Amino acid sequence: MGDNIINFYAGQPPLNRVAFQRQSTDKLNAHLASPQTRILVFKNGSPLVRKGQPGALLYLDRDTLAPLIQDGYLGAPEQETDPKRAKAFEAYRPQGSPALLFLGIDDRGSNQDPQNPKGIPYFAINVEEGLQHDEGEFIEARVSGGEMDGWTAGVYSGARSVMDWNARYKFCPGCGKPNYSLWGGWKLNCTSFLSVVSGDPPCPSTKGLHNYAYPRTDPVIIMGILSSDGENILLGRQKSWPEGMYSCLAGFVEPGESFEDAVRRESLEEAGIEVGPVRYSSSQPWPFPSSLMVGCYGRAKDGQTIHAQWFPRSQVLSIVESASSVPTRADIKQLEEAKQTHHESLKALAPTDSKSPGSGPALVTGLTKVPAETAIAGQLIRLWAKGGMDLVSKL
């Protein structure tokens, strides 16, 4: 059982994705033709926003983007009578066309019909170069995302992750031929489906179900490791981070590994701390490019005396309640430019004056900033520091 937290980028509430409509060329084109339709625009992973307002997405309409959208989604040609082959043409875009992603419908406040929801359709499109808009500018993805309201961030999160996936997988992993997009941007097919070249071996992707044909999500555990008495938390930092910035340890879940085992392995590898009980707290989609952050708490085993970067509750609480503890735009840009990602180790190196938990009241120096509440690490740290619940008794 988790902590019932709806994290940033998760949607508040989420957009109705109406996934069952993605295979319908007619339905998607009808949504695309709606005068209410809103289209997010990305270029190299950066969103189009209103000038001077990084958190305000600038939605465009179909007419403005007509040269890129052209005929929208296409279906099977009339001469295609084989039902199996016809599936290769479900709401597809010709190979080489800009990716056009159907995100779903904002049906808040409407009388919801589960089979035919009413509301504002949302799409996203990727542009290469040349698009100019007097009211808009493209801005760094993390800077923009962190300044959005919760609902907009949820729309943006899904859009950016799937658009990134479309951009990365231009060629089929099975045979190397170009891919094309279908299902409104939620599936990729090898172009060998469309034409068979004499003498070429069949592509493995033409038979069976293959995970590379669908958007990928990489699970990452991020953990608040507590001392055995629950009064200290283990945090780490990378050398390239802004000065004074610390966060929770994190790492990718490996094949054949549970979330709980990943927490224990990462804690031991990165900090030399043996962890006993582990419990789930909450999760967060992280669209940089496409991870699912799985937030957990773990408790260090009794008798741990290894020197690591333990911070007492009183010190962390004073920092999270300070306005200066939140990373600035410059801090976020520094993280972006350093190309730091969660699979790199957050080294928990002890400063010379640190003490093991329980060995004394001395405060650890150097900590001045923790992640904002828009990051699940910030939520884990704040939930513990403010004592909102007895986390230790649940471990």
Backbone conformation region of residue 160, classed left if phi is above 0, alpha if psi is from -120 to 50, else beta: alpha
For the beta carbon of residue 237, count every other beta carbon within 10 angstroms. Answer: 20
Least-confidence region, from 172-176, 271-275, 325-329: 325-329
The stretch 8-16 carries a mean pLDDT of: 91
- Structure confidence at residue 360 (pLDDT): 42
Structural domains of the chain sorted by starting position, each given as residue range(s) with its CATH number in brackets: 19-213 (no CATH), 218-394 (3.90.79.10)
- Whole-number mean pLDDT of the chain? 87
User: What sign results for the dihedral spanned by CA atoms 164, 170, 171, 172?
Assistant: positive
Which DSSP string do the residues of 124-172 spell out, in sequence order? EEE--S----TTEEE--HHHHHTTS-HHHHHHHHHHHHHHHHHHH--B-
- Structure confidence at residue 330 (pLDDT): 74
- Structure confidence at residue 196 (pLDDT): 61
Give the pLDDT band (50/70/90) at residue 346: low
CB 296 within 8 A of CB 251: no
Kindly tell me if the per-residue pLDDT of 359 is higher than 60: no
Which tens digit of pLDDT belongs to each residue from 63-90? Answer: 999 999 999 999 999 888 888 889 999 9
Which tens digit of pLDDT belongs to each residue from 176-218? Answer: 999 999 999 999 999 988 876 556 788 898 888 899 999 999 9
Which residue matches tokens 């542009």? 127
Side chain identity at residue 159, one-letter code:
A
Which tens digit of pLDDT belongs to each residue from 261-318? Answer: 999 999 999 999 999 999 999 999 999 999 999 999 999 987 654 445 889 999 999 9
How many angstroms separate the CA atoms of 161 and 17, rounded?
Answer: 14
> φ and ψ at 78, to 5 degrees?
-60, -35
- Structure confidence at residue 334 (pLDDT): 66
**363 alpha carbon, distance to own chain's centre:** 34
Rounded to two decimals, what is the model's pTM? 0.88
For the beta carbon of residue 332, count every other beta carbon within 10 angstroms. Answer: 19
Residues in the chain: 395
Beta-sheet pairing, 100-106 with 53-57? unpaired
How many angstroms separate the CA atoms of 60 and 260, rounded?
Answer: 44
> φ and ψ at 168, to 5 degrees?
-80, -35
- Which residues partner with 46 through β-bridges? 43
How many angstroms separate the CA atoms of 303 and 357, rounded?
Answer: 10
Q: What Å distances lie between residue 253 and 98, 234, 385, CA to CA?
A: 33, 19, 26
- Structure confidence at residue 101 (pLDDT): 99
- Structure confidence at residue 349 (pLDDT): 46
Which tens digit of pLDDT belongs to each residue from 136-165? Answer: 999 999 999 999 999 999 999 999 999 999
Helix (H, G, I), strand (E, B) or coil at 222: strand
- Structure confidence at residue 381 (pLDDT): 96
Crossing angle for the helix pair 313-320 and 376-385, to the nearest 10 degrees:
120
Side chain identity at residue 33, one-letter code:
A
Give the pLDDT band (50/70/90) at residue 388: low
Quick one: what percent of the chain has pLDDT higher than 90? 65
Beta strands in 324-381 (DSSP E): none
The stretch 44-56 carries a mean pLDDT of: 96
How many angstroms separate the CA atoms of 363 and 355, rounded?
Answer: 9
Quick one: what percent of the chain has pLDDT higher than 70? 86
How many angstroms separate the CA atoms of 82 and 193, rounded?
Answer: 12
Among 122, 130, 124, which residue's Cα sits nearest to residue 100?
124
User: What sign results for the dihedral spanned by CA atoms 335, 338, 344, 350?
Assistant: negative
Helix (H) or strand (E) holding 48, with range, is: strand 46-50
> φ and ψ at 212, to 5 degrees?
-75, -5
